[in-house]
Amino acid sequence: MTADVIDLPKRHKGKRGNGKLPADGSPPAGATPPPPGERPHDPGTPPVQPVGVRGGACYFFDHLGQLREMSAQALGQPSQVIFLFGGSDAAMEWLRNRFPHFDKEGTWTKGFSTRECNAWLVDQCSRRGLFDPDRLPSRGNGVWRAQGAIAVHVGNKVIFLAEDGSPLEICAAGFAARGALWPVQPELTPPAPAIAAEIAQQVERMFGKWHSWNLGEERIFTGLWVAGLLGASITWRPHGLLVGPAGSGKSTLLELYCALSPLAMPVNDYTAAGVRQLLTGRAAPLVLDEADEDPETMGRLQAVLSLLRRASGGEGARVIRGSGDGKAMAYTFMSPAILGSVLAPPLMPQDATRITKMELVRIPDGVPVLPIEAMMAWAKQNAAGLWGRAIEGIPRFRANLATVRAALLGRGCSPRLADQLGTILAARAMMLEDEPLDATAAEEDSLAVSWLLQTRLQAIEEGGSMRCLQHLLSSTADVQESGQRPTFERLIARARGGSDVGARDKLIDHGLKLARFPLRSDAPESLLIARTHPALSKVFTGTLWAGGRWCDDLKHLPGACAPTDPVSFRRGVKPRCVVVPLDCLPGEDDAEPVPDMPPAPPLAEYADP
């Protein structure tokens, strides 16, 4: 079989020669030489940067540094090329000299050859290979980790710092490096040289002028503010929920937060899709005021909370959605957020260790009015220097985090809560002090917010597995006893010890059985719950555990297990099941001791600014 031969279109010859300039930049042979100084020359670095190809499109950083997608057909149109390069005199001069156009007489027209430019652009993109947005994610405004460095993107430039905070380089935005794309963004005020710790301490004193339900809540608010300044440069991004009735100053406190945060994005009407599109490619704190569940749009806020939950750790929330043209669109959301609401929205158990709740109370009568305008002006004046202090203190933050996290784990906190609360307290301490925390100071900081500490056992009791068990126990059996339907908890209580055989039979009729497991004389009785059963399906209809998922959650209870082999409930009935120790049922003593939680020590008194 012979290979196919493709005839490329032949270029016009004649007085124009081959259409290419000789090495010395002189016009083709036979052409009238232009006057000195008007000959094409090497124009140097191009004003656009090819990135790669994907499908039928080429990708570039244009003359402004924006990431652009252009088809090969568009690249053959002079107006599109000029739009890509910019219409400035310098851009046109580059095009005329790099791709000179000659008329039929061989004279340089001082125009540019669109055909030559098109071929060069397609070739340069092809040389860079396939453009994969997952391999080269877009990094916009904010603070990022960048292959062993910290990158601060402020719109028109990217500042790279070493892990120890020392400067590396400053680059004009609009390039690909360190495993990411760095497109130009709306310009921000860059961080200023690090400000003194006393100024940061004054910020916390300002936060403390609001009236909180719990002692020490301004510490949490300060830590959340500092964590927001660090963007995606930290591995865990904590979220906060500020709850306060009308007259508590909640919205004003959030405005002060924004004035102190050059990166903050405040919104008060939103959807999950809007949040996802707004902050994709940004590492900036999101401020969501009016985060109350609207009965007319029930579920809107839950979708936002689900997005925030996934944005907390690792590489953030990675969402794939289809578009109208059949292309998959990827969104990456890595921003910390703080929400404000009048009433606390319903939170899933997994939200408790990702969204820290703070609560304001109504401002008491007779309290002097705060000088809000002066506070806002002061905040905006010092915001850049405070941001610089946060970035300069990243190494100190990492040392603090290890110390605080160890203290929280020693208090019996779950690892996830240690990540959340540890990040908040470590960020606060980094901002307010010039030296890393020692173990004693970390212990004191954790005790100062004892109302947030939660042991592993408490986390289990409030988690999804225990909620699933409680839903089952509080549900009623499909039987009548004295005109009433007993709850499963009541039937289990009657069946324990073997005295009420009828109660045991009724449990088996509903896919539940009290039995020793493993089957030996010294094994205690456990509650066996079938994985599939019509009565249990009815109990869990309309819940998170419908479709047989109740066993997937219940098996995570302390001491529970899911045998691989079926277990006999009665003759001819051997379902697969999950085995739950009776110690998990209400009324039993908890096996894990709860550490003492002494009251929080009083905060140090600071003089008013």
DSSP state of 596: P
Q: For residue 518, is the peptide bond before it cis, meaning its omega torsion is within 30 degrees of 0?
A: yes
Query: How confident is the model over 314-330, as a mean pLDDT?
Result: 59
At residue 12, the pLDDT reads: 41
User: Which residue, chain included where needed, has tokens 């959807």?
Assistant: 271
Amino acid at site 556: H
- The first and second tokens of residue 215, run together, are 């002692």
* Domains of the chain (ranges, CATH numbers): 1-131 (no CATH), 132-190 (no CATH), 197-363+385-452 (3.40.50.300), 464-584 (no CATH)
Across 431-468, b (16+ Cβ under 10 Å) vs e yields: bbbeebbeeebbbebbbbbbbbbbbbbbbbbebbbbbb
Residue 537 clears pLDDT 90, i.e. is over it: yes
Query: How confident is the model over 382-398, as a mean pLDDT?
Result: 95
DSSP sequence for 241-290: EEE--TTS-HHHHHHHHHHT-TT-EEESS--HHHHHHHHTT-B--EEE--
Distance CA 376, CA 367 (A): 20
Residue 120 clears pLDDT 90, i.e. is over it: yes
Least confident of 330-339, 390-399, 539-548: 330-339
What confidence tens digit (pLDDT) does each residue in 45-88 have? 899 999 999 888 999 999 999 999 999 889 889 999 999 999 88
Smallest Cα–Cα separation from 262: which of 277, 283, 244? 283
**Which tops the pLDDT comparison, 194 or 111?**
194
Residue 461 clears pLDDT 60, i.e. is over it: no
DSSP state of 528: E
At residue 482, the pLDDT reads: 81
Residue 603 clears pLDDT 80, i.e. is over it: no
At residue 349, the pLDDT reads: 66
At residue 10, the pLDDT reads: 39
Least confident of 27-36, 233-242, 256-265: 27-36
Residue 21 clears pLDDT 70, i.e. is over it: no
Residue 606 clears pLDDT 60, i.e. is over it: no
Residue 8 clears pLDDT 80, i.e. is over it: no
Sign of torsion over alpha carbons 254, 256, 261, 265: positive
CA distances from 385 to 195, 196, 200, 229, 591 (A): 5, 9, 10, 11, 50
- The first and second tokens of residue 59, run together, are 């990708």
At residue 347, the pLDDT reads: 73
At residue 325, the pLDDT reads: 57
Q: Are 117 and 91 in contact (CB under 8 A)?
A: no
**Which tops the pLDDT comparison, 434 or 38?**
434
Helix, coil or strand: residue 560: coil
Helix, coil or strand: residue 360: strand
CA distances from 272 to 141, 243, 279, 334, 459 (A): 20, 20, 11, 14, 27
**Which tops the pLDDT comparison, 13 or 26?**
26
Q: What are phi and psi of 276, to 5 degrees?
A: -60, -45
Residue 217 clears pLDDT 50, i.e. is over it: yes
Residue 214 clears pLDDT 50, i.e. is over it: yes
Smallest Cα–Cα separation from 548: which of 582, 575, 515? 575
- The first and second tokens of residue 524, run together, are 């205690």
Q: Are 284 and 231 in contact (CB under 8 A)?
A: yes
Report how far Cα 7 is from the mean position of its chain's Cα atoms: 52
Residue 295's pLDDT band (cuts 50, 70, 90): low
Distance CA 450, CA 197 (A): 25
Residue 18's pLDDT band (cuts 50, 70, 90): very low
At residue 60, the pLDDT reads: 92
At residue 374, the pLDDT reads: 95
Q: What is the CA radius of gyration of the chain?
A: 33
Residue 204 clears pLDDT 70, i.e. is over it: yes
Least confident of 268-272, 324-328, 486-490: 324-328
User: Which residue, chain included where needed, has tokens 């004693």?
Assistant: 440
Distance CA 22, CA 29 (A): 9
Query: How confident is the model over 592-596, as a mean pLDDT?
Result: 40
Least confident of 118-127, 145-154, 161-170, 343-352: 343-352
Distance CA 169, CA 82 (A): 31
Smallest Cα–Cα separation from 220: which of 424, 446, 519? 424
Residue 440's pLDDT band (cuts 50, 70, 90): very high
What confidence tens digit (pLDDT) does each residue in 445-460 have? 988 888 888 655 555 5
Work out the mean pLDDT of the chain and round it to a whole number: 82
User: Which residue, chain included where needed, has tokens 């933050």?
Assistant: 397
Which alpha helices (H) appear in 433-544, and where do they start and end?
Answer: 439-447, 456-461, 464-474, 488-495, 501-509, 534-540
Amino acid at site 609: P
Smallest Cα–Cα separation from 577: which of 523, 522, 520, 517? 517
Distance CA 348, CA 15 (A): 78
Q: Are 178 and 146 in contact (CB under 8 A)?
A: yes
The Cβ of residue 139 has, within 10 Å, a number of other Cβ atoms equal to: 27
Report how far Cα 262 is from the mean position of its chain's Cα atoms: 18
Query: How confident is the model over 518-530, as a mean pLDDT?
Result: 82
Q: Are 580 and 529 in contact (CB under 8 A)?
A: yes
DSSP state of 452: G
Q: Are 363 and 267 in contact (CB under 8 A)?
A: no
At residue 497, the pLDDT reads: 67
**Which tops the pLDDT comparison, 352 or 147?**
147
What confidence tens digit (pLDDT) does each residue in 89-105 have? 899 989 988 998 888 88
Q: Are 397 and 426 in contact (CB under 8 A)?
A: yes
Q: Are 163 and 148 in contact (CB under 8 A)?
A: yes
Distance CA 413, CA 404 (A): 12
What phi-psi label fits residue 328: left (phi over 0), alpha (psi between -120 and 50 degrees) or beta? beta
DSSP state of 476: B
At residue 301, the pLDDT reads: 76
Distance CA 163, CA 165 (A): 5
The pairing of strands 100-102 and 108-112 is antiparallel
Amino acid at site 310: R
Distance CA 146, CA 40 (A): 41
CA distances from 317 to 62, 234, 569 (A): 29, 15, 44
